[in-house]
Amino acid sequence: MIKIGIVGARGVYIAGALASMPERAKITAVCDIDEGVLKRSCERVLELGANSELPKAYRIYEDMLSSDIDAVVISTPMQCHVPQAMLALAAGKHVMCEVTAGVTMDELFWLIDSVEESGKIFMYAENYCYMPEVQLVRKLVKQGMLGDIYYGEGEYTHDCTSLCFHEGKKTWRHYWQMGTRGAFYPTHSLGPVMQCFDNDRIVSIASFSSGNHNPYDLRNDDVTQTLCQLASGKLVKVRVDTVSPRPHLMNYYQIQGTKGCFEMPRLGGEAKIAISTDEDPRGFEKWRPLSDFNDFLPERYRKNEGINAGHGGGDYYIVWDFIEAMEKNVLPELNVYKAAEWTAVALLSQLSVTNHGRVMDMPNFRAKMPWEEKKITL
Ligand SMILES: NC(=O)c1ccc[n+]([C@@H]2O[C@H](COP(=O)([O-])OP(=O)(O)OC[C@H]3O[C@@H](n4cnc5c(N)ncnc54)[C@H](O)[C@@H]3O)[C@@H](O)[C@H]2O)c1
């Protein structure tokens, strides 16, 4: 039985997923600096059915780390992620960490070093990768049904301005998510797209932005567009827009291959796919509902076990994979190297935008990188 401690109130969402696997893991501790939030979060763990008794409540993170928990789920503001992950790893705990992984390039290398030194599991909680549509398309891509994939797009358009204030005070998002330039929150858009480019990686990025036209005291531009060049020469585009007055669209994706394409709906409706087959070589000219291909969903999604969890069940399967990685002691797919690459798009995009769209090289994040490659140069 794996004992999990959660830091940051949002993390208790995993209690819903754990309710169906009580013999495998349990939330034994919750930590939050806000006493009221802490009390409500502990009660929420009970409501969600993961525990039969209240988890132990901690105000001080280090105190929770001194307890007998095996793993920590980090759901605090993004500037806390690397320091808290490093403390947990040094204390011998496994870590699942919310997006984004860190807020500076150096932090990403500190995180990688800490994971490697600890030998513990680090999993990146990029839950959009686990949404059913994303998993289905990925399966179709793996089967070659869209041919050779050479282009992908992801967009996160979500007016987050109200999240920059709480009870009249500026929150962390006023500074870290929206108080800096560049595509500072790219991984919901990038992760699902990059999963269609197996064994490829981002080698360089360039970002351009629109300037500020909305009436906010925020340094992040209204829209930032980032182009990512992959090692194979293929292309990925990411739009991050957390300001514009428009309906939310947090999970728009487009994938293009030599046999057809996939698009999430922009204006409501169903996800669509258009593909050529031997029987219908011009099939790429007609949109079909993605749901026509539901038989290709990974088996665990067809069983609908996680259907009530957030993000179409994605929040269930991500917890499932974290637990499996800890039980089997294997590198999770959303490991620290992927977390670093996808997060670095944000940090390099900040540098690119502030340098008139300059092309920025991406480090080749991998196990046991030589020291010279960990030094950032412009
Ligand atoms: N994956 C997703 O879909 C998704 C959605 C929303 C937020 N997030 C991520 O989740 C994280 C939290 O976001 P949020 O919207 O819940 O933020 P929030 O500000 O609403 O909540 C953060 C919580 O952390 C607590 N906290 C702050 N510093 C702490 C510390 N040092 N020790 C203990 N507790 C501390 C705060 O009291 C607060 O309760 C962020 O990294 C964000 O990017 C991910």
Q: How far apart are CA 330 and CA 112, in angstroms?
A: 16
Residue 254: inside a domain: yes
Please report the atom of ligand 1 found closest to the CA of residue 163: 15
Residues 44 and 136 in one domain: no
146 plus 158 within the same structural domain = yes
Last residue of a domain, one of 271, 302, 333: 302
- In angstroms, what is the span from residue 11 Cα to ligand 1's centroid? 8
**Closest listed residue to residue 122, CA positions, set 109, 111, 130, 131:** 111
Choosing from 72, 92, 126, the residue where a domain stops is 126
Answer whether residue 83 is part of any domain. yes
Residues 47 and 148 in one domain: no
User: What is the DSSP secondary structure assignment for residue 211, as one 8-state letter?
Assistant: -
> Are residues 107 and 207 part of one domain?
no
CB 236 within 8 A of CB 255: no
The answer to whether residues 247 and 267 touch, using CB atoms and an 8 Å cutoff, is no
Pairing of strands 249-257, 149-157: antiparallel
Instruction: Say if ligand 1 is within 6 A of residue 227 CB.
Output: no
- Is the predicted pLDDT of residue 158 greater than 90, yes or no? yes
Quick check: is 327 in a domain?
no
Strand pairing report for 94-97 and 122-124? parallel
Residue 4 scores a pLDDT above 80 = yes
pLDDT band, very low/low/confident/very high, at 311 (cuts 50, 70, 90): confident
Q: The CATH number of the domain where 107 resides is what? A: 3.40.50.720
Phi/psi for 187 (5° steps) reads -75, -20
d(CA 336, CA 331): 9
Mean pLDDT, the chain, as a whole number?
95
- Tens digit of pLDDT for each residue in 250-274? 999 999 999 999 999 988 889 999 9
The residue range of the domain holding 139 is 128-302
| 284 shares a domain with 140 | yes
Same domain, 80 and 194: no
What is the arithmetic mean of pLDDT over 10-24?
86
With beta carbons less than 8 A apart as the criterion, state whether 334 and 365 touch.
Answer: no
Is the shortest distance between the CB of 77 and ligand 1 below 6 Å? Answer: yes
Q: E strand or H helix at 40, and its extent? A: helix 35-47
pLDDT digits (tens, 9 = 90+) for 330-371: 999 999 999 999 999 999 999 999 999 999 999 999 999 999
pTM: 0.96
Which amino acid would we find at residue 313? Answer: G
Do 204 and 286 fall within a single domain?
Answer: yes
| 307: in domain | no
Q: Whose CA is closest to atom 33 on ligand 1?
A: 32
Tell me the pLDDT tens digit for each residue of 102-117. 999 999 999 999 999 9
Which of the listed residues 281, 302, 323 is the one where a domain comes to its end? 302
Residue identifier of the C-alpha nearest atom 20 of ligand 1 = 10
